Structure 1
Amino acid sequence: SALLTVAAPSLCVLGVTAVATASVTGNDAPGEAGEDIALGGDELDEEAAEAARAAHAVANKQFDTQLQGLTAAADDYAERASRTQGRIDLEERKAEEKRLAAEEAKRKEEEAKRLEELRPKFFLPVERRGLSAVYGQSGLNWANLHTGIDFPVRYGTPVRAATDGTIRTQYHVSYGNLMIITAPDGTETWYAHLGSYVYQSGFVQAGTVVAYSGNSGNSMGPHLHFEVRPGGGSAVDPAAWLRSKGLEPS
């Protein structure tokens, strides 16, 4: 019994000791496991953070790529828009220049028309007035009646075209150096006994100096013999014809 009594306490002590050991062991084990779990959680958190950082980097890279693409597209659009605007500006400038040129041409045309309307269409063949012989006059110098009028001017006096018209020249035994100007309506004006020509052909306007007076042909001295022949036919009174144009020869 004593032995049992002694042993029992020993067993009790051993049991208590075992329980205590178990308790300690049990307390330690969960602690170590918690530490392992904590360590495992940290590793997982780090992996998650690394994955997040990697995903963020990929997203940033994708964003940068997209942004670069958008920037390039925007630059390309801007360049194309600039070229298009340049073409539009050029076309508008050309159109404006064309419009201004047309307006200027029209203005010049209208001005030319206005000046043409104001331009005298008939002139006295010489500036000096006064006649030394008239139409229909008879005399020793003419086989028939005088077919024109004579202006007694000095040798070398400028002779002007009485009308617009086309010039032709010839030498005639009676008329001497002769110029004939045919007007657009067919009327011929003759200028005889000339000393020299300024023009021998071509179109001239009324008032243009076309020759200089002289004493050629059947002439008794320097003067201008002037005739008018409507339609190139028979001569009519030049004085009356000039007066019908508002000009006074005498």
Structure 2
Amino acid sequence: MSTPAPKRRLDVRHQSSVRASETRPSSRRAAPRRARRSFRPSMAMVGAVALVLAGLGSAVVSSRADSGSLGGDYQALSADTSAGGFDVSRDFDRELLEEQTQAQADQLLQAQQDLTAATQAKAEELKSNQWVLPVTGYRITGRFGVTNTLWGRGHSGLDFAGPSGSTISAIASGTVIAVKYSGNCGNMTQIQLDEDDLVIMYCHQSRQTVQVGQRVTAGETVGYTGSTGRSTGPHLHVEVKPGGGKSVDPEPYFREHNVYP
């Protein structure tokens, strides 16, 4: 006796379970698949890689072939470094280097000495030709060539009037050739200048402070103002005598040396 009814019920249950699974929401979602990209090198990249590989190969071969020579060159360069911190070639004559270095130092020293000597010589030249005013605190009361009853045919110099006892300075560098009392000039001093072949005469001094043969420089004290000789008051009378001869106007000589009385 057959039993088909139960088999049908099994089929019904199976179908119901299938339907339930189809309608039930799934708790897991499938991850989206990533698209695969195929890498295809360009012709330029292929060429570059080939060049790199070729270079590496040649470098390996070259390093194997020249390893001995490279090591020798390195040792040579190391040996060529001098103790002084500079590089010279291996075959350089170090004795010659020291000799020439010393010669160079001597030449530099000589050049410095020559420059110093030249500078001193120039300074002495400028100093010997430097002029200064003979007194300070003065007034010009008589110029060259002026005539009056006191000076007769004409004044022979330049008068600097001021307090008696004022310091008289050497106008320029020179050698004292006369220190004496000289009639109308009173106490008088003459100085032969180093430059310009001039003799400067200082008159009417109250006192002289130099001696014949003494060397003086511009600004050095040679005496003090007074009113000795033919004078109407304390002042310094200055005369300029080219070559020690006849007196001439002193003012152009003062101005020539940038001194303006």
- The bucket for the TM-score relative to the shorter chain is 0.5 to 0.7
For 1:22-61, what aligned pairs fall within 5 Å after superposition? none
Deviates more, 1:131-140 or 1:108-117: 108-117
Q: Does 1:128 align with 2:137?
A: yes
Cα pair distance change 1:102/1:236, threshold 3 Å: same
In structure 2, list runs of 5 or more residues that go unmatched: 1-102
The answer to whether structure 1 residue 226 and structure 2 residue 224 are counterparts is no
In the alignment, which residue of structure 2 is the partner of 1:197?
208
Q: 1:108 to 1:156 in 2, by over 3 A?
A: farther
- 1:118 and 1:188 map into 2 onto residues whose CA distance is 18
Rg bigger for which structure?
1
2:160 corresponds, among 151, 155, 161, to 151
Distance 1:229 1:131 in 2: 20
1:167 equivalent in alignment to 2:179: no
How far does the alpha carbon of each residue in 1:168-210 deviate from its partner, in whole angstroms, 9 at most, with x for none?
3121110000011111432111100011112123121222121
* Residue 210 of structure 1 pairs with residue 219 of structure 2: no
* Greater helix share, structure number: 1
In structure 2, the residue corresponding to 1:236 is in which secondary structure? coil
* Mapping for residues 80-91 of structure 1, pairs under 5 Å: none
Aligned to 2:19: none
Equivalent residues, number:
158
> Match for residue 182 of structure 1?
192
CA deviations over 1:1-58 (Å, ceiling 9, x no partner): xxxxxxxxxxxxxxxxxxxxxxxxxxxxxxxxxxxxxxxxxxxxxxxxxxxxxxxxxx
Percent of paired sites with the same residue: 33
Inter-partner Cα distance in structure 2 for 1:216 and 1:146: 17
Per the alignment, in what secondary structure is the counterpart of residue 146 of structure 1? coil
SS at match of 2:184: coil
**Maintained 8 Å contact 2:139/2:162:** no
Q: Which SS does the other structure have where 1:232 is aligned? A: coil
TM-score, length-normalised on structure 1? Answer: 0.54
Other structure's SS at 2:136 match: coil
Compared CA separation, residues 238 and 118, structure 1 to 2 (3 A) = closer
| 1:99 positional shift | 9.0
Return the alpha-carbon distance in structure 2 between the equivalents of residues 112 and 172 of structure 1.
39
- Which residue does 1:116 correspond to in 2? 124
Structure 1: state its 5+ residue gaps.
1-94
Provide the alpha-carbon RMSD of the alignment.
2.9
